[in-house]
Copies of this chain bind each other. A is one copy, B any other.
């Protein structure tokens, strides 16, 4: 699994988030992508996602560090489901609800030229089911 292109794509996106390179972050998403900022708060579209990441970085005083652990990738044609241990750390906000280990769910879509783009970024995973009850 170490060499899967999607693993590299996600590592690139994490690096860009951690370095406040928001143009690169935005280019990892489809035009119509959805980001779950927190349970109940969804952001739609690449440009809005870019703005959301700027706000998140500001909230953490640029101390945010996102990384991934174990990953399961299931490909079905031009769609892939990624399950990933995601670590969201920030020395500035140790008590924050943002700082946590999560079982994230990402859905990727492969473009006609073979590039994987994130369509749905839900780092909260199935935790969202708890907030609907």
Interface-facing stretch out of A8-16, A17-25, A59-67, A123-131: A123-131
Contact indicator A129/B103 (Cβ below 8 Å): yes
Contact with B along A51-73 (1 / 0, CB 8 A): 00000000000000000001110
Identify A120's interface contact among B34, B76, B103, B109, CB under 8 A: B76
B residues less than 8 Å from A32 (CB atoms): 76-77
* Residue A112 at the chain B interface, CB threshold 8 Å: no
Task: Determine the main DSSP class of A at the interface with B.
Answer: strand
The B-contacting residues of A in range 99-131, CB under 8 angstroms, are 103, 105, 107, 109, 119-120, 122, 125-126, 128-129
10 A-B residue pairs with CB within 8 Å: A34-B74, A74-B120, A76-B107, A76-B120, A79-B79, A83-B126, A83-B128, A84-B129, A103-B126, A126-B126
